[in-house]
């Protein structure tokens, strides 16, 4: 039997910043390079921003193709150019597998790969927010677009059973295409505590409830503020910290600032920090991680919090219920359970051992999926 050479894979994503999808892509690339160097050869293609993803991939000596016209916003002219640029990369690369991430790259990449003769195309759905954020005709159009794009791939990777049920409900893909692979991140030792408290001059006797997210509608920072208001009515030994958004620079931040102006007593105990590369280190000082999103896939920040041993309280979104039992639909329920956790300060979280097992299973599942489509 002829010995097979390395499986050559192109990972494709729209943006090159350091958000959830990019971290997952990096975790896949890192794991394949570390654990399967003799089986897989990986390259990455992404949009033009000189983001942290590109910096991190270069540290691994991964070849990165920058696609000048691949942008998140819908632009018919740029999208056509991006499609042609993706096709050019794929044709010259002679890949065995093209693995697409994110909505825009997922749509253009799947079509470009199949029409270029790639036999094995995979698409990871990082949550269905791209569809769920809309109603009416726009949602129907996006579902139709996903159905159409599903015809151009062999496997659709979903993060949890809930996302699978949505795919079936919307008739996106078919049973033979579905694979469930929960997200995981490269295990890291918990960061030392004290950095955030020192920076904001928060005493040790003050508890910190925090979140790490962009300031935009799906993350619902206004709900975060409403929960803060209700908690602070009963407790004065708590502060709230949101990392990842600027009330000055972000468009949605203006609404947040208006809310703070209307509630000056709450504003005194709420901190908003911009995007930080050291967010995980700052998160080590959280006593509770509070996720208030309206929609998520499997948010990596929850995994990061659990790896730090920080208990998580969340709205019932995406795949979060598969990570923690502290899931609630109403603000009042969130508040009551925050009180409970603050009183108990039970910091069991996820141990490093089990966290490493999550990542080990994650990378083995992707390696198995690549081999399966080749075979």
Tens of pLDDT, residues 120-133: 999 999 989 888 88
The pTM of the full predicted model, rounded to 2 decimals, is 0.83
> Among 40, 28, 141, 136, which Cα is nearest to 96's?
40
Average pLDDT over residues 285-290: 96
The H-assigned helical ranges of 312-351 are 331-344
What is the spatial order of strands in the sheet that 40-46 belongs to?
63-66, 40-46, 7-12, 97-101, 120-124, 155-158, 178-180
The β-bridge relationship of strands 238-243 and 207-212 is parallel
pLDDT at 345 over 80: no
Domains and CATH numbers, the chain: 7-185+356-374 (3.40.50.2000), 195-351 (3.40.50.2000)
Residue 256: C-alpha distances to residues 84, 214, 221, 224 (Å): 40, 12, 7, 10
Q: 265 falls in which pLDDT band (50, 70, 90)?
A: very high
Interatomic CA distance for residues 96 and 249, integer angstroms: 43
> Among 94, 89, 96, 146, which Cα is nearest to 123's?
146
Cβ neighbours, 10 Å, residue 343: 9
Average pLDDT over residues 105-109: 97
Q: Which residues contact 24 (CB under 8 A, 6 or more apart)?
A: 101, 124, 126, 183, 185, 300
Average pLDDT over residues 104-128: 96
Residue indicated by tokens 């018919």: 76
């Amino acid at each position: 039997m002829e010995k097979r050479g390395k499986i050559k894979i192109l990972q494709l994503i729209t943006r090159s910043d350091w958000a959830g999808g990019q971290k997952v892509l990096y975790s896949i690339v890192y794991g394949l390079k570390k654990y399967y160097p003799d089986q897989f050869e990986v390259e990455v293609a992404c949009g033009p921003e000189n983001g942290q993803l590109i910096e991190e991939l270069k540290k691994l000596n991964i070849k990165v193709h920058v696609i000048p016209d691949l942008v998140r916003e819908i632009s018919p002219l740029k999208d056509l150019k991006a499609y042609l640029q993706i096709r050019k990369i794929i044709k010259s690369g002679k890949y065995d597998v093209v693995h697409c991430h994110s909505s825009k790259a997922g749509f253009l990449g799947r079509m470009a790969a199949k029409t270029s003769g790639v036999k094995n195309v995979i698409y990871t759905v990082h949550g269905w927010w791209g569809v769920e954020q809309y109603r009416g005709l726009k949602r129907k159009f996006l579902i139709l677009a996903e159905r159409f794009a599903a015809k151009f791939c062999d496997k659709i990777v979903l993060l949890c059973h809930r996302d699978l049920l949505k795919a079936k409900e919307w008739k996106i893909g078919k049973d033979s295409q579905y694979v469930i692979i929960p997200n995981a991140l490269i295990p890291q030792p918990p960061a030392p505590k004290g950095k955030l408290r020192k920076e904001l001059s928060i005493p040790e006797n003050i508890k910190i409830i925090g979140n790490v997210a962009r300031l935009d509608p799906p993350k619902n920072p206004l709900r975060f503020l409403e929960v803060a208001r209700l908690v602070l009515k009963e407790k004065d030994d708590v502060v709230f910290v949101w990392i990842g958004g600027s009330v000055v620079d972000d468009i949605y931040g203006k609404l947040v600032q208006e809310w703070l102006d209307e509630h000056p007593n709450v504003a005194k105990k709420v901190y908003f920090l911009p995007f930080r590369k050291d967010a995980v280190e700052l998160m080590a000082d959280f006593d509770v991680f509070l996720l208030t999103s309206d929609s998520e896939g499997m948010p990596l920040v929850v995994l990061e919090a659990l790896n730090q041993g920080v208990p998580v309280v969340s709205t019932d979104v995406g795949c979060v219920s598969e990570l923690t039992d502290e899931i609630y639909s109403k603000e009042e329920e969130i508040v009551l359970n925050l009180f409970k956790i603050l009183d108990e300060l039970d910091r069991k979280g996820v141990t490093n051992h089990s966290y490493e097992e999550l990542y080990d299973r994650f990378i083995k599942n992707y390696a198995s999926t690549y081999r399966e489509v080749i075979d």
